[in-house]
Chains A and B, each alone.
Chain A
Amino acid sequence: MSGDKDIAILGVGMHPWGKWGRDFTEYGMVAARAALADANIKWTDIQYVAGADTIRNGYPGFIAGATFAQKLGWSGVRISSSYAACASGAQALDSARAQILAGFCDVALVIGADTTPKGFFAPVGGGDRKADPDWQRFHVLGATNPVYFALFARRRMDMYGATAEDFAQVKVKNSKHGFTNPNARFKKVNVIEDVLNSPVVSDPLRLLDICATSDGAAAMVVCSMEFAKKHRALAENSTTDGLCRVSAVGTVTPVYPQSVLELPDIASDSTAVVPAPARKYKDSIAWSAYEQAGIGPEDLSLAEVYDLSTALELDWYEHIGLCAEGEAEGLLRSGATTIGGRIPVNPSGGLACFGEAIPAQAISQVCELVWQLRGQAGDRQVEGAKVGITANQGLFGHGSSVIVSR
């Protein structure tokens, strides 16, 4: 499978996820140098840096492209800085891809890194910001992020018969996938009781159903197929066989009316005059990627989806088309989404093993696909992996779905 809008992934690298509270650029530099080494590319040969922003770390976080260009040593490189909440990494990749496909550059570094506070995420910055919906939901309702995760979880229970054990099983599965992952933060194999015995945070979700906030960094070196061919010719052979390619980056926004209540909104759009679109927003994210790549869910070897909560992983099974609406619990119980099953989901261990390092997370999902497709995933290897998809959503309507193939 290859298309004329493909770009190559020459190298990937990560700093392990954890909680240290150090300067986020320290983590980013480790990931950047790892990706450059993996690509066998010198920093001074990089023509473009696409940074994924963090809004929690002052000015340097808002200008991630420039921050890392300076940190790696000013080279005159062109830059961009993207903020799209949890989808920032995919927006950065999309920015680099557009530059490459337009012929404005041949090879680019995509990078995201974060240091996060403990506990619930709260609005950034102080003061009464009464017109900011993010401030409003906390002040008026106490609607934390887990509140929204819980609304989706409770709906699965009442509509489709999901149980607390199903949600716990997602955590158990992901912990078994990720506990040997060298970049994971949580390396304990969980059992169902661990989850069921943890305290309820937002009913029905318990502490171990909800992902933590983490420090971490991920980076990749991407280039045109032509550049990849020349680069390889210097090293070994002139083909692009076996190279991982980005076949799609889905970054769609919602279509009015967004009829599903999504984080951080206090109400949905109205369906009174314009009916809801046939394909709801979270479905449209992966489908836009499938259409770009010219494939469907039946072609996938694996998926990395955003398990902000265990129950949200089940929602993603349906949004990316692994099963019909209401059938995710059955798919999970069948073992299909466990490594060794028909379509392993989150072989990295997912957010359950990592926690979320916002600007790095969408990039780390792509790193995992690359290691899986190259056969370098060690204990968590999905045998014969050829095509993978990532999916996530950033608040305020940021979609993110990347298809990688080889």
Chain B
Amino acid sequence: MSDSPATAPTLSRVPIIEGWFTDDVHAPHLIGSKCPLCGTFVFPPRSGDCPSPFCDSTTLEPTPLSRRGKVWSYTENRYTPPPPYVPTEPFEPYALAAVELEAEGLVVLGKVATGVLAADLKVGMEMQLELDVSHRDADHEYMVYVWAPARPSAASTASATASTTDGGAA
């Protein structure tokens, strides 16, 4: 999952699922839905009726969601999930985190960036959205959104600063 895009130049990059996130690798956003009438949010994105029983809207509009949030809880898969999950070979344990987005009032479950495991996480920790390779086939590299710790490291101060700016923009 951690290979850089340059290692697979012949593969075309496609999202693992259509319409859930933008393809900007430097500052990706989840795409949710927003009710034009009452303003509530929905993820995963969908069309149709507002989920609120107090709202009569029959439409929802796509909207980018905040890139930053706090860990609500987390875990780490030690065994290969069954199909329709497509595992990488050999299977490597990976973490998942449910992250609270304050502005949207949503808790969104996602994979955690490669190499960050449960021992590195804590409830309340600040996270930000990134993209990672989920798996590959002969022609495609399937991209998935992941949560990554938002703390800047020495090596990535520049990109982390950029992310901080982006975090408030959604």
Q: Which residues of A contact B (CB under 8 A)?
A: 119-120, 122-123, 128, 130, 133, 135-144, 147, 150-155, 158-159, 199-205, 256-257, 259-261, 265-274
CB distance from B55 to the nearest CB of A (A): 8
A139 touches B86 (CB 8 A): yes
Residues of B near A267 (CB, < 8 A) are 42-44, 106-109
Told that A120-B82, A158-B122, A257-B40 touch, could you supply 6 new A-B pairs with CB distance under 8 A? A136-B17, A141-B144, A259-B105, A260-B107, A268-B106, A273-B105
Complex: how many Å from CA A159 to CA B111?
22
Residues of A near B78 (CB, < 8 A) are 199-203
Q: Which of A119, A120, A130, A256 contacts B53 (CB 8 A)?
A: A256
Residues of A near B144 (CB, < 8 A) are 140-141
A144 touches B77 (CB 8 A): yes
Residues of B near A147 (CB, < 8 A) are 75, 77, 96
Residues of B near A261 (CB, < 8 A) are 72, 98, 107, 109
Complex: how many Å from CA A203 to CA B76?
5
Q: Which residue of chain A lies nearest to B103 when distances are taken between CB atoms in the complex?
A: A272
What are the 9 A-B residue pairs with the smallest beta carbon separation, nearest first?
A271-B105, A142-B81, A150-B75, A272-B105, A158-B123, A203-B76, A122-B82, A270-B41, A155-B73
With an 8 Å Cβ cutoff, the count of chain B residues facing the other chain is 51
Q: Which residue of chain B lies nearest to A154 when distances are taken between CB atoms in the complex?
A: B73
CB distance from B43 to the nearest CB of A (A): 4
Q: Is B23 an interface residue (CB 8 A)?
A: no
A155 touches B72 (CB 8 A): yes
In the complex with contacts A130-B17, A151-B98, A155-B72, A144-B81 CB distance below 8 A = yes
Task: List B residues 25-48 near A (Cβ within 8 Å).
Answer: 35, 38-44
Interface hub of A140, A159, A261 (most chain B Cβ within 10 A): A140
B107 touches A139 (CB 8 A): no
Residues of B near A123 (CB, < 8 A) are 84
B51 touches A256 (CB 8 A): yes
In the complex with contacts A143-B109, A261-B109, A138-B75 CB distance below 8 A = no
A141 touches B98 (CB 8 A): no
Please report whether the interface of chain B is mostly helix, strand, loop or mixed according to DSSP. Answer: loop
CB distance from B137 to the nearest CB of A (A): 14
In the complex with contacts A140-B144, A141-B96, A271-B105, A120-B81 CB distance below 8 A = yes
Complex: how many Å from CA A257 to CA B40?
10
Residues of B near A133 (CB, < 8 A) are 44
Residues of B near A272 (CB, < 8 A) are 39-41, 103-106
Residues of A near B110 (CB, < 8 A) are 141
CB distance from B144 to the nearest CB of A (A): 6
Complex: how many Å from CA A256 to CA B80?
34
Residues of A near B122 (CB, < 8 A) are 158
Q: Which of A135, A139, A142 contacts B77 (CB 8 A)?
A: A142
CB distance from B54 to the nearest CB of A (A): 6
CB distance from A229 to the nearest CB of B (A): 43
CB distance from B57 to the nearest CB of A (A): 11
Interface hub of B16, B80, B105 (most chain A Cβ within 10 A): B105
In the complex with contacts A200-B78, A267-B44, A139-B53 CB distance below 8 A = no
B44 touches A266 (CB 8 A): yes
Q: Which residue of chain B lies nearest to A200 when distances are taken between CB atoms in the complex?
A: B78
Q: Is B118 an interface residue (CB 8 A)?
A: yes
B17 touches A140 (CB 8 A): yes
Complex: how many Å from CA A307 to CA B122?
25
Complex: how many Å from CA A342 to CA B102?
41
In the complex with contacts A154-B73, A256-B53, A204-B118 CB distance below 8 A = yes
Residues of B near A273 (CB, < 8 A) are 35, 38-40, 52, 105
Residue interface bits B97-129, CB-to-A below 8 A is 1, else 0? 010000111111111000000100011100000
Interface hub of B75, B98, B103 (most chain A Cβ within 10 A): B75
A142 touches B40 (CB 8 A): no
Q: Which residue of chain A lies nearest to B39 when distances are taken between CB atoms in the complex?
A: A273
Q: Which residue of chain A lies nearest to B145 when distances are taken between CB atoms in the complex?
A: A140
CB distance from A255 to the nearest CB of B (A): 8
Complex: how many Å from CA A270 to CA B44?
12
A270 touches B75 (CB 8 A): no
Residues of B near A159 (CB, < 8 A) are 123
A141 touches B111 (CB 8 A): yes
